[in-house]
A = this chain, B = another copy of it.
Amino acid sequence: MFRKILFPTDFSEGAMRAIRRLERENSMAVEECILLHVIDEGYLEDLLNGYSYMYESEEREMQDIISKAKENAMKKLKERGERCRGMVKAKRMRSVVRIGIPYEEIVKFAEEEKVSLILLPSHGKFGYSEELLGSTTIRVLRKTKKPVLVIKTHKEE
């Protein structure tokens, strides 16, 4: 029984595949599972590209982008939550969206929430062809004091 699991996701398919495999091999009972998506603040700035004429100011445009991004992320997280529910037997499930630098937010959130485990896919959105371990994953591993369960996201052979 894991007390409180944090499952950060960038919505890549690999992570879902990994969880499925883990659950098939082991049967994990979990008290609480928190799905976290961190909107990369660098990515937000990329969206700020010249539509400010539609807004009173760039700050106003940014607020709009942020609220839309949060809304979309929350919707996707809920979908993931439903799919996870069939795989991880968690008594409670929560979805949380944050904005910042992904690995920093993950480490901070894990401390704040006193999670007992962080579940991390070995690779996220940017694939696994070049790198042997995803950059967010390796950074979280280095920084956090929490136990981290790394699941390989390679396609099954």
Binding site for B on A (CB under 8 A): 1-3, 18, 21-22, 25-29, 116-117, 122, 132-133, 138, 141-152, 154
Contacts and interface: CB of A to CB of B under 8 A. Distances in A.
Given A21-B147, A147-B152, 8 more contacts: A2-B28, A3-B26, A18-B147, A25-B117, A133-B138, A144-B152, A146-B152, A149-B149
* A141, A143, A146 interface centre (most CB from chain B within 10 Å): A141
* A116, A146, A150, A152 interface centre (most CB from chain B within 10 Å): A150
Contacts of A18: 147
Nearest to A146: B152
A22 B150 CA distance: 15
Nearest to A114: B25
A25 B148 contact: no
B116 A25 contact: yes
Contacts of A143: 132
A3 to B, nearest CB: 5
Contact of A132 (B2, B142, B148): B142
Contacts of A138: 133
